[in-house]
Structure 1
Amino acid sequence: MPTASQARRDRILKLATTTGLASVEELSQTLGVTASTIRRDLAKLTAEGHLARTYGGAVSLSAHPEASLRQRIGEAYEAKWAIARWAASQIGAGETVLLDAGSTVGALAHELRTAKGLTVATTGVTALQELSDAPGVHVECLGGTLRPLSQGFVGPLTEAALERMTFDRVFLGTDGVTAEYGICEADLRQTRLKELMARRAEHVYVLAHAAKLGLRPFHAWASLPPGWTLVTDATADPGSLAALRERGVRVVLVEPAPEDPAAQAAVEPLPR
């Protein structure tokens, strides 16, 4: 018969697998134990390779169906907004930028609502909704076939529109990141489009919270041009970061500061 601690960890793993996210606070309330007990359980499950830690919780590493954008919005919430704030700080007035679909890039779009003299092209419905009434932002929609789960446009019409523009910066979302393969998505149309997007921009950023590093939930991959930048949170696995750096990836680690709503970042120099 399993011990009480083992039974609790089994339940944590089941909850993380079915919901996609295990929050320390929510698990503490659900299971009736202290937050420190939950953190010890998460540490053990992570060490055993069942979970990946996130800011404030963990996600399952088990294979699971593609989650909808609505399901992802609350995942790694603090980390996503810290990443979005740092990304917004890199964009200068008068630039032309390209935004992918996804919840983290959608948060970036929200941060750009007060920008002045900015041109934003996007394949994401969330970014369109955030910027549709932003007075200082000119918006271009790269329409095409809408994927309901990701709320992003893909396909030949999107690609044709993309070929008619170039960009100062592109910000991409992803379902997983590895040094060996690049960035992962559920659909080959998505990965093809991300590769094309990266080719049209001078600077390429991938916005991915720590749990996505080393994650391989699907079998469609996009390889990116040398020198791209990964923006992730400070809980990222050091081994995954080291492997990415060896491939010439610039790494930015952000962490929300309790005394300041703006994200603090440790930024590595651009590779030469």
Structure 2
Amino acid sequence: MQPMSLNFRHTEILEIARREGKVVVEDLAAHFGVTLQTIRRDLTELADSGQLDRVHGGAVLPSGTTNIGYEERQVLYPEAKTAIARACAARIPSDISLFLNLGTSTEAVAHELLHHQNLMVVTNNVNVANILLANPSAQVIVTGGQLRRADGGLIGNLAADTIRKFKFDLAVIGCSALDQDGDLLDFDIQEVAVSQTILDHARRVFLVADHSKFSRSAPARIASLSQIDEFYTDAPLPPKLARDCEGWGTQVFVAQDS
């Protein structure tokens, strides 16, 4: 039987990994006041039990097929999401048609649009619609679709059919993970199909995603960053991906917490 203190350390390591997407040996050793060797042993034991995957210098959450819960995502990186949303909203003019899709980052953008004028916002996110009720000059249209109770998302063919009736000036989308080759990834195949329809029916596309998405994985591909006009995040991209974005003409904006 493991000592109680070790169980507690394992539990907190997993909590940090879920929050950050990865853990670093040196950071954990400083956090717990133990040796690097002790942390490496902890990570090996967690990897052996299938709870983490070891990588050079630390560990990451294992690649999975399900997203972390909506309520947990709501409290992850709120300052970063607000900074990203403000930077994104500052580039969104009034008097346009706009699509906002699912995710806590796009909900943060909705909060920053409360003083924009004469927006026509179409969304498959019930939370976004409720947020924008507070903007009296915004026309809000909610797609049909199957309601995903976990997060207020509308997905499936009915949602995609609604989107096909429009040609948006701009779409703001999120993703669950961003692969090192620039692929936007998600967990729900039906949601991916809706997101791909959004891309096909928008003149310009902005992506909002915090740094934790760089170290996460998901099984379904939405699109490539090469299809995104502007990407708003809170940390510099890995060097190769930054160079790729420059070659693709994808503008990257790194927002700082205020």
| Shared fold per TM-score greater than 0.5 | yes
The TM-score range, normalised by the shorter chain, is: 0.7 to 0.9
Q: Which runs of 5+ in 2 are unaligned?
A: 1-5, 22-26, 44-53
Instruction: Give the whole-Å Cα distance in 2 for the aligned partners of 1:222 and 1:197.
Output: 11
Residue 214 of structure 1: CA displacement?
A: 4.7
Q: Which amino acid aligns with 1:230?
A: F
- Map 1:1-272; keep pairs closer than 5 Å: 10=10, 12-17=12-17, 20-21=18-19, 37-38=30-31, 48=56, 50=58, 60-64=60-64, 65-180=66-181, 182-216=183-217, 218-224=218-224, 226-234=227-235, 236-257=237-258
State the percentage of identical aligned residues: 22
SS at 1:252 equivalent: strand
Deviations 1:25-68 (A, max 9, x none): xxxxxxxxx999339999x99983545xxxxxxxx433354222
Query: In structure 2, what is the equivalent of residue 266 of structure 1?
Result: none
Residue 239 of structure 1: CA displacement?
A: 4.5
TM-score (norm 1): 0.73
Kindly tell me: are residues 22 and 7 of structure 1, through their superposed partners in 2, closer, same or farther at Cα, counting changes over 3 Å? Answer: farther
Deviations 1:99-155 (A, max 9, x none): 001101001111112221111111111101101232011101112111223421111
Tell me which moved more, 238-247 or 89-98: 238-247
Kindly tell me: are residues 119 and 76 of structure 1, through their superposed partners in 2, closer, same or farther at Cα, counting changes over 3 Å? Answer: same
The root-mean-square deviation of aligned C-alpha atoms, in Å, is 3.4
Query: In structure 2, what is the equivalent of residue 267 of structure 1?
Result: none
SS at 2:62 equivalent: coil
The structure with the largest helix share of the pair is: 2
TM-score (norm 2): 0.77
Kindly tell me: are residues 100 and 49 of structure 1, through their superposed partners in 2, closer, same or farther at Cα, counting changes over 3 Å? Answer: farther
Q: Which amino acid aligns with 2:219?
A: H
Instruction: Give the whole-Å Cα distance in 1 for the aligned partners of 2:176 and 2:32.
Output: 25
The structure with the largest strand share of the pair is: 1
1:210–1:237 contact (8 Å) kept in structure 2: no
